[in-house]
């Protein structure tokens, strides 16, 4: 044990260690404060938190779980991007290769199950926040940011659903996107759309309606795949990341992790 | 065994299971959260409805099953009362649920659907939802008791005490992350992600299903046209969720679990989230097979199953059946009965504001009251339309095919 202690001391007192961790082992209250304040990652937290806010039975840890799963999706998604080309020729075969050829390949599995788990985690997080009344003033705005994040989570999962380009993918997206055809005033089969016309020329037709805008064509094809890929990998994650920053910031500014006010 | 399976198959038909689920929702609110007694006005009303179901069951077998399940669950919940929130009772419920699910997995038809890779998370979600609903209501019940006895909610006893983020919070988070990582790795190794044959736009699978979290919307298509089920209602769900903090002005119950201090908000939210949204997703995932026909959990998904389509429109019901005359040619005369009904429905908030809901109107103020009431009415239009479909085979209340405007 004495040896282990001296090894530990050696590491902790080395110039390398000290250059990375500014505070050292946080074994005094002063160091505990500095450890949280001095770290980019940890300073998302306040220095001190309510006792009730630390209890798992109160928070269910679902907000943290959602965020963690978002990070899992980011990492596994980046790895998948090395293997995947979003074109009709390659999309399916790339996934096939990934499945059959990549040794110990569980990244696609983890990405898919992580996505399902994230949707459930976000719902449960919303459920907990509602049940504790944590949307009440001053947290109204943050609840709204949360609702948008929930929608973005669903859209992330929806756009990702198409990418394997198998039967499951295109038909799920077909069913999902067919609904856009019925947008009132904006889809070919939507109520009131047929009233919008110039003389005999209809303004809303299958070549310019809401569904066309969603899937970039009259039917699901190469353009849809590319569009969903860019939305899935770039646009929505960036938007979600930005809103998450606001979400976490507002948790702090609105009085910390929810508890009785 | 076959009898039990048949019993469950009959009970899970959407019209039966929805009524049962709504009833259980009412039982839990009344008997378990409000400590209501069976020997009271409401208790007798519950009992009376059950007896009506049994009597109606003499003519229709499914209603008999519904009545039996209804009364059984009612007696159990009424007897349990507040004890439903005991940890021991919760554990037994979990064991029963898990055992029922485990035994069901032995059935080949059930197994085929429940073990589909993409359905595994939804099966897990059923248990998670059940567990967390129980947990939240247990905490709410305990806090309610404490507040009633003149105390303060449990969270308040701890909220002034502050802990250092390091180590208390950081370690909890670390443990959660490690646990989640293990779960994700085991899950990913144990269950392969589904991959069917390459996309083929010319051959559509039957049933063609949306991703599971949108199956609630796809299930709504049974009752509403796509412009409502797929566009307007989802938009209003999002708008409604965002409006919650601005409509709900009740200052109590901020930051701690409670039920009695916020019975309306929680009642409406739980009804929408559990009885409508989750119920529809679970039905759409596990109980809808080829041609979007209904299949019980132990039923084989027979693609040739025929379900007679005998749905009729309100206009046909009124003009043809009731008044025995042909449908009027002009659409606004033909659809007048439906349009009047819809207008009356929309006119409910001002009518109620003058009458029984005066209290809410004065407390909330006009804008909050009207927005809240409209959102609530639109939410309730779904169960109303569902029940109308089951009772009268009603397809459309308003059917203006000329401009795709169908309600």
Render pLDDT for B112-150 as a digit per residue (tens, 0 to 9): 999 999 999 999 999 999 999 999 999 999 999 999 999
Query: For all residues of chain A together, what is the average pLDDT?
Result: 91
Of B170, B193, B406, the CB nearest to A109: B193
Between CA B279 and CA A159 the distance in angstroms is 24
What residues 388-407 of chain B have any CB closer than 8 A to a CB of chain A?
A: 400, 402-406
Of B136, B184, B226, the CB nearest to A72: B184
User: Tell me, what's the pLDDT at A130?
Assistant: 96
Q: Is the bond preceding B167 in cis, omega lying within 30 degrees of 0?
A: yes
- Report the domain count for chain B: 1
Residues of B in contact with A142 (CB under 8 A): none
Q: Does some domain include residue B26?
A: no
Render pLDDT for B278-302 as a digit per residue (tens, 0 to 9): 999 999 999 999 989 999 999 999 8
Chain A interface includes B174 (CB < 8 A): no
Distances in whole angstroms, Cα of residue A54 to Cα of each of A62, A228, B162: 12, 39, 10
User: Tell me, what's the pLDDT at A202?
Assistant: 83
Average pLDDT score over residue span B341-353: 91
Closest to A168 measured CA to CA, from B191, B200, B300, B110 = B200
Closest to B154 measured CA to CA, from B143, B168, B140 = B143
Whole-number percent of chain A with pLDDT over 70? 99
From A179's Cα to the closest Cα of chain B, the distance in A is: 5
User: Tell me, what's the pLDDT at A1?
Assistant: 63
Domains, in order of start, for chain A: 60-253 (1.20.810.10)
Residues of A in contact with B197 (CB under 8 A): 166-167
Residues in chain A: 261
Of A99, A135, A151, the CB nearest to B195: A99
Average pLDDT score over residue span B338-347: 92
Of A52, A128, A136, the CB nearest to B245: A136
Average pLDDT score over residue span B35-52: 94
Chain A interface includes B310 (CB < 8 A): no
Render pLDDT for B215-239 as a digit per residue (tens, 0 to 9): 999 999 999 989 999 999 999 999 9
Q: Does some domain include residue B221?
A: no
Give the long-range contacts of residues B228-237, CB within 8 A, separation 24 or more. Answer: B228/B407, B229/A179, B230/A178, B230/A179, B230/A180, B230/A182, B231/A179, B231/A180, B231/A182, B231/A183, B231/A184, B231/A187, B231/A190, B232/A184, B233/B378, B233/B382, B236/B375, B236/B378, B237/B277
Q: Which residue of A has its CA nearest to B160?
A: A50
Q: Does some domain include residue B153?
A: no
Tell whether pTM > 0.90. Answer: yes
Hey, are the CB atoms on B199 and A29 less than 8 Å from each other? no
Q: Which residue of B has its CA nearest to A168?
A: B196
Q: Which residue of A has its CA nearest to B130?
A: A124
CB–CB contacts below 8 A, A to B: 276
Average pLDDT score over residue span B242-271: 93
Q: Does some domain include residue B389?
A: yes
pLDDT < 70: residue spans in chain A: 1, 261
Residues 6 or more apart from B175 whose CB is under 8 A from it? Answer: none
Render pLDDT for B168-187 as a digit per residue (tens, 0 to 9): 899 999 999 999 999 999 99
Q: Does some domain include residue B363?
A: yes
User: Tell me, what's the pLDDT at B271?
Assistant: 96
Q: Which residue of A has its CA nearest to B181?
A: A72
Half-sphere exposure in the Cβ direction for B270 (13 Å, CA):
24
Name the residue range of residue B385's domain: 314-406
Hey, are the CB atoms on B196 and A95 less than 8 Å from each other? no
Q: Are A246 and A145 in contact (CB under 8 A)?
A: yes
Hey, are the CB atoms on B180 and A169 less than 8 Å from each other? no
Which of A138, A167, A243 best tests the B interface by mutation, with the highest count of B CBs <10 A? A167
Of B121, B210, B238, the CB nearest to A151: B238
SS3 for chain B, per residue? CHHHHHHHHHHCCHHHHHHHHHHHHHHHHHHHHCCCCCCCHHHHHHHHHHHHHHHHHCCCHHHHHHHHHHHHHHHHHHHHHHHHHCHHHHHHHHHHHHHHHHHHCCCHHHHHHHCCHHHHHHHHHHHHHHHHHHHHHHHHHHHHHHHHCCCCCHHHHHHCCEEEHHHHHHHHHHHHHHHHHHHHHHHHHHCCCCCCCECCCCCCCCCCCCCHHHHHHHHHCCCCCHHHHHHHHHHHHHHHHHHHHHHCCCCCCCCCCCCHHHHHHHHHHHHHHHHHHHHHHHHHHHCECHHHCECCCCCCCCCCCCCCCCCECHHHHHHHHHCCCCCCCCHHHHCHHHHHHHHHHHCHHHHHHHCCCHHHHHHHCHHHHHHHHHHHHHHHHHHHHHHHHHHHCECCCCEEHHHCEEC
Chain A interface includes B156 (CB < 8 A): yes
Of B230, B241, B255, the CB nearest to A258: B255
Average pLDDT score over residue span B3-23: 92
Tell me A114's DSSP state: H
pLDDT band at B331 (very low <50, low <70, confident <90, very high): confident
Render pLDDT for B386-404 as a digit per residue (tens, 0 to 9): 999 988 888 898 888 777 7
Render pLDDT for B63-108 as a digit per residue (tens, 0 to 9): 999 999 999 999 999 999 999 999 999 999 999 999 999 999 999 9
Half-sphere exposure in the Cβ direction for B183 (13 Å, CA):
15
Of A52, A108, A172, the CB nearest to B211: A172
Residues of B in contact with A65 (CB under 8 A): 176, 180
Q: Which residue of B has its CA nearest to A114?
A: B184
């Amino acid at each position: 044990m004495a040896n282990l202690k001296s090894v530990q001391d050696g590491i902790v007192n080395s110039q390398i260690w000290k250059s990375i961790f500014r505070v050292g082992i946080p074994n005094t209250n002063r160091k505990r404060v500095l450890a949280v304040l001095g770290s980019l990652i940890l300073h998302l937290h306040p220095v001190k938190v309510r006792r009730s806010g630390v209890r798992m039975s109160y928070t269910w840890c679902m907000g943290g779980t959602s965020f963690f799963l978002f990070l899992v999706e980011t990492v596994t998604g980046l790895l998948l991007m090395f293997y995947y080309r979003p074109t009709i020729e390659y999309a399916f075969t790339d996934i096939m290769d990934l499945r059959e050829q990549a040794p110990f390949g569980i990244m696609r599995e983890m990405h898919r199950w992580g996505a399902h788990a994230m949707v459930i985690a976000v719902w449960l997080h919303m459920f907990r926040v509602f049940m504790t009344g944590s949307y009440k003033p001053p947290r109204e705005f943050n609840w709204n940011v949360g609702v948008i994040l929930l929608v973005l989570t669903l859209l992330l999962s929806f756009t990702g659903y198409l990418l394997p380009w198998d039967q499951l993918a295109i038909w799920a997206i077909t069913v999902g996107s067919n609904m856009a055809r019925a947008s009132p005033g904006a889809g070919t089969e939507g109520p009131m759309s047929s009233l919008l016309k110039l003389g005999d020329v209809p303004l809303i037709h299958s070549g310019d309606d809401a569904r066309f805008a969603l899937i970039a064509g009259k039917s699901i094809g190469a353009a849809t795949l590319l569009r969903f890929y860019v939305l899935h990998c770039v646009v929505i994650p960036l938007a979600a990341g930005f809103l998450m920053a606001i979400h976490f910031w507002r948790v702090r500014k609105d009085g910390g992790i929810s508890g009785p006010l | 065994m076959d009898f039990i399976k048949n019993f469950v198959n009959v009970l899970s038909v959407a019209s039966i299971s929805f009524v049962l689920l709504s009833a259980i929702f009412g039982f839990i609110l009344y008997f378990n959260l409000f400590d209501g007694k069976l020997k009271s006005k409401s208790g007798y009303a519950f009992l009376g409805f059950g007896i009506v179901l049994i009597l109606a069951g003499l003519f229709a077998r499914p209603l008999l099953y519904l009545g039996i399940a209804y009364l059984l669950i009612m007696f159990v919940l009424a007897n349990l009362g507040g004890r439903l929130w005991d940890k021991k009772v919760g554990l037994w419920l979990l064991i029963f649920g898990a055992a029922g699910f485990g035994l069901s997995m032995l059935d080949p038809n059930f197994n085929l659907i429940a073990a589909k890779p993409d359905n595994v998370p939804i099966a897990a979600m059923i248990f998670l939802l059940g567990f967390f609903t129980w947990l939240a209501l247990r905490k709410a019940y305990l806090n309610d008791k404490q507040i009633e006895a003149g105390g303060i909610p449990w969270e308040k006893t701890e909220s002034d005490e502050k802990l250092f983020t390091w180590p208390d919070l950081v370690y909890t988070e670390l443990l959660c992350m490690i646990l989640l990582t293990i779960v994700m790795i085991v899950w990913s190794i144990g269950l392969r992600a589904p991959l069917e044959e390459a996309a083929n736009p010319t051959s559509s699978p039957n049933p063609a299903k949306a991703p599971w979290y949108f199956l609630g919307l796809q299930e709504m298509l049974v009752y509403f046209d796509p412009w409502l089920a797929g566009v307007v209602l989802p938009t209003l769900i999002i708008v409604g969720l965002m409006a919650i903090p601005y409509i709900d002005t009740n200052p109590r119950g901020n930051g701690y679990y409670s039920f009695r201090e916020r019975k309306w908000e929680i009642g409406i939210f739980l009804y929408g989230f559990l009885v409508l949204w989750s119920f529809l997703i679970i039905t759409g995932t596990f109980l809808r097979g080829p041609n979007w026909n209904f299949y019980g959990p132990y039923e084989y998904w027979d693609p040739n199953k025929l379900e007679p389509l005998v749905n009729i429109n309100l206009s046909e019901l009124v003009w043809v059946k009731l008044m025995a005359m042909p449908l009027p040619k002009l659409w606004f005369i033909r659809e007048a009965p439906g349009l009047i009904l819809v207008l009356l429905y929309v006119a409910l908030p001002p009518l109620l504001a003058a009458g029984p809901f005066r209290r809410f109107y004065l407390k909330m103020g006009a804008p909050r009251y009207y927005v809240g009431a409209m959102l609530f009415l639109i939410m309730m239009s779904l169960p109303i339309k569902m029940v109308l479909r089951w009772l009268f085979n009603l397809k459309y209340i308003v059917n203006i095919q000329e401009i795709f405007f169908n309600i």
